Chains A and B, each alone.
Chain A
Amino acid sequence: MTDLTKSGAAVGEPARTGAAPETFLEVRDLKVHFPTDDGLVKSVDGLSFQLEKGKTLGIVGESGSGKSVTSLAIMGLHRLGNRGKNVRMSGEIWLDGKELVAASPDEVRRLRGRDMAMIFQDPLSAMHPYYTVGNQIVEAYRVHNDVDKKTARKRAVELLDRVGIPEPDKRVDSYPHEFSGGMRQRAMIAMALVNNPELLIADEPTTALDVTVQAQILDLIRDLQKEFGSAVIIITHDLGVVAEIADDILVMYGGRCVERGPVDKIFYEPSHPYTWGLLGSMPRIDRAQTERLIPVKGQPPSLINVPSGCAFNPRCPYADVPKGGITRTERPELREVGSRHFTACHLSQEDRSRIWTEEIAPKL
């Protein structure tokens, strides 16, 4: 945690230069829109962030906030079906000096699985039921490495062993259904890591698992990150998980980033009313007090008719606080409110810190 603050100087708001950035992964003004019969679904609408090697970024938000769409966009998986006719993407995604949004599908395919890999939420549907676990890992390895089957199989066994599957030389020939949920997730991590990717995206990696297994998997991801030095994006709705594993947190709402900053800032000095809402609506296992939870009122917005101005304004308890002439329909941009800490809210700094210290913090 300590080295985090030191490296902070390198990160700031990106300039729209179009030039390769210095950070390992940089996403600039990413937009992913899906035209549908009912209208344009703006799943991601202007998202920017950076991530350095060896660091973990946690993306949190409710379902439909665009977190998974972001990860699929980085992996270039939106353009696979229907030759990308049903998705409109713009912005830039820079991975290690290469731009991915405008890159050809072939270029992205060469990177996918080798430089960037993904762990999906539901390992049973992410793995092919017809092939053995070993076969699937071998395939992922041989696509990117010119090796014979025997070497690849050895590599598969080695990785299954590394992720903690007992008797890997036997289990390599098992089918996914023969594995338990936790083992399947381990096998999928093995598959993702087979080419030593530099970027690992984990989309709700532990949501389908029990807490005891979740603890094992989070530990494993953390250890592997230390070992391979890769950058990790972890997408989750569980604030406990990000508190455990992330260096930085990005809070998404309605397809946009509402707050981004180091993990300590987000938990101890959150500055966006939505983040307050998330913290207040979470029951705490580490606190004996059982006063009422403070839920966020209302429903998440429709991504077709995103509320004008701040997408959160219909649910925001502080939408009516006067903000020096700024109207509700004006869209707040991300502003720096502290070192490496950004928030998209019209509330003035004074109002914000007053509300946080007087109204929110005592109730958490």
Chain B
Amino acid sequence: MSETETRAGTPAVTNDDEKPLLRVEGLVKHFPIKKGLLQRQVGAVKAVDGIDFEVRRGETLGVVGESGCGKSTMGRLITRLLEPSGGKIEFDGTDITHLNTGGMRPLRRDVQMIFQDPYGSLNPRHTIGTIVSAPFRLQGVEPEGGVKKEVQRLLELVGLSPEHFNRYPHEFSGGQRQRIGIARALALKPRMVVADEPVSALDVSIQAQVVNLMDDLQDELGLTYVIIAHDLSVVRHVSDRIAVMYLGKIVELADRNALYEAPMHPYTKALLSAVPIPDPKRRTAKSERILLKGDVPSPIAPPSGCRFHTRCWKATEICRTTEPPLIELRPGQRVACHHPENFADQAPQDTVLLTAAKEAAELVSEEVLAEAAATSEEAVEEATSEASSEETSSEGSASSDKPSSGESTDK
């Protein structure tokens, strides 16, 4: 991973590389709910509700969130396994939002997917050879030296033996099947691989094997990954940048270290604090934990304004009424929040807490609240002192061009 770290740190130089491989703008997917004899539409599940992001060449973008936040739907939209209801998807400069099956076919070579369930994603009646050679057949590609030889090379690449060519999926364990899925995804030398929970069905020791394999393949083949997972430890390990989703929206999008060390969205902070740490000594430090109340609201009728306001301990009136935009508050860290953590408050005039916030705050320890208050005050002071010299307001956009104030609050 040391290589990817430098990759994330230093932006690419050439012109072509500066353009992101995938750009997504205002992507929306609503699944209609139909009722009655006439199948009239009575509502919609707003699985993905307006997200913007880009995937840079050669990077790994991790996407995390609770179940039902729309991360899998997002994965299926960018691979165009689902038709978007709105927005725009651009792959390598080409608009692929509404391409039909035929139009997508040439692109399927470049974009491949690894699925979560290694049992469900392999046809039990086909041999491994048939499964891994399917992409060649479908695309009409004749690799050098023949399909069989190429498939055997792929099997070797993912750590299986070439003799497995004539075996059936049921003869393999979960980890091996996941390797088969990876071999199939890599068959056509794709440029981007979308992996939806690639390791969550595997045991820890096998999980590490697959994570390392994906890592090696990225270095070897220069792949770009979009890894969708709910396991925050795995995501931290594999990703260069991470997008946190909540109820169909991206609430925070940042470089790995920034996100894990100084999360700015309260939801990110709560999510990170909830992960059990495999270190018994940390158990005493339970005060760091933020317990969220209740469950994620229904995506059929998401809360108004900021979608997290019903569970947030910092929510004020503005959170209920106005949806915070996803803005770059610190270089490389985009956040959609009126009252971010570790940073100057975006709506300092709005101080009256909502009832929901008061309830939520009871579950948050004093220290977290005090710390939050301290960091935002500190940031406000710095921001205002700098702002006074430049005569700019401390509202939203202004703070984005003051990286120094943000960075100092990390500590």
Interface residues of A (CB under 8 A from B): 1, 62-63, 166, 180-183, 210-216, 218-219, 237-241, 243-244, 263-264, 267-268, 277-286, 288, 290-297, 299-300
| Chain A residues whose CB sits within 8 angstroms of the CB of B176 once the complex forms | 299
Are B237's CB and A243's CB within 8 A? Answer: no
B363 (CB) vs chain A CBs: closest residue: A216
A302 (CB) vs chain B CBs: closest residue: B173
In chain B between 318 and 372, which residues have their CB closer than 8 angstroms to a CB of chain A? none
A260 to chain B, nearest CB (A): 15
Are B276's CB and A292's CB within 8 A? Answer: no
How many residues does chain B have at the interface if contact means C-beta atoms less than 8 Å apart? 50
Task: Decide yes or no whether B208 CB sits under 8 A from chain A.
Answer: yes
Are B280's CB and A1's CB within 8 A? Answer: yes
Given the contacts A183-B295, A295-B209, A281 and B232 also touching, CB distance less than 8 Å: no
Among the listed B203, B283, B289, B291, which residue makes an inter-chain contact with A1, where contact means beta carbons less than 8 Å apart? Answer: B283
Task: Decide yes or no whether B1 CB sits under 8 A from chain A.
Answer: yes
Given the contacts A281-B204, A293-B237, A296-B205, A240 and B232 also touching, CB distance less than 8 Å: no
A77 to chain B, nearest CB (A): 24
CA separation between A294 and B237, bound complex, in Å?
Answer: 13
Interface of B is mostly: helix
| Chain A residues whose CB sits within 8 angstroms of the CB of B234 once the complex forms | 283
| Chain B residues whose CB sits within 8 angstroms of the CB of A292 once the complex forms | 1, 212, 215
Are A216's CB and B1's CB within 8 A? Answer: no
Are B208's CB and A294's CB within 8 A? Answer: yes
In chain B between 187 and 231, which residues have their CB closer than 8 angstroms to a CB of chain A? 203-209, 211-212, 215, 230-231
B67 (CB) vs chain A CBs: closest residue: A210
CA separation between A283 and B204, bound complex, in Å?
Answer: 9
| Chain A residues whose CB sits within 8 angstroms of the CB of B276 once the complex forms | 214-215, 218, 238, 240-241, 243-244
In chain B between 262 and 293, which residues have their CB closer than 8 angstroms to a CB of chain A? 270-284, 289, 291-292
A265 (CB) vs chain B CBs: closest residue: B280
Are B204's CB and A286's CB within 8 A? Answer: no
CA separation between A127 and B208, bound complex, in Å?
Answer: 34
| Chain B residues whose CB sits within 8 angstroms of the CB of A296 once the complex forms | 205, 208-209
B141 to chain A, nearest CB (A): 32
| Chain B residues whose CB sits within 8 angstroms of the CB of A278 once the complex forms | 204-205
- Name the residue among B173, B203, B276 with the largest chain A CB count within 10 angstroms: B276
Among the listed A212, A237, A240, A294, which residue makes an inter-chain contact with B270, where contact means beta carbons less than 8 Å apart? Answer: A212
| Chain B residues whose CB sits within 8 angstroms of the CB of A240 once the complex forms | 233, 275-278
| Chain B residues whose CB sits within 8 angstroms of the CB of A237 once the complex forms | 203-204
Are A290's CB and B67's CB within 8 A? Answer: no
CA separation between A180 and B283, bound complex, in Å?
Answer: 28
Among the listed B231, B279, B284, which residue makes an inter-chain contact with A267, where contact means beta carbons less than 8 Å apart? Answer: B279
CA separation between A296 and B1, bound complex, in Å?
Answer: 19
Are B260's CB and A215's CB within 8 A? Answer: no
Are B209's CB and A286's CB within 8 A? Answer: no
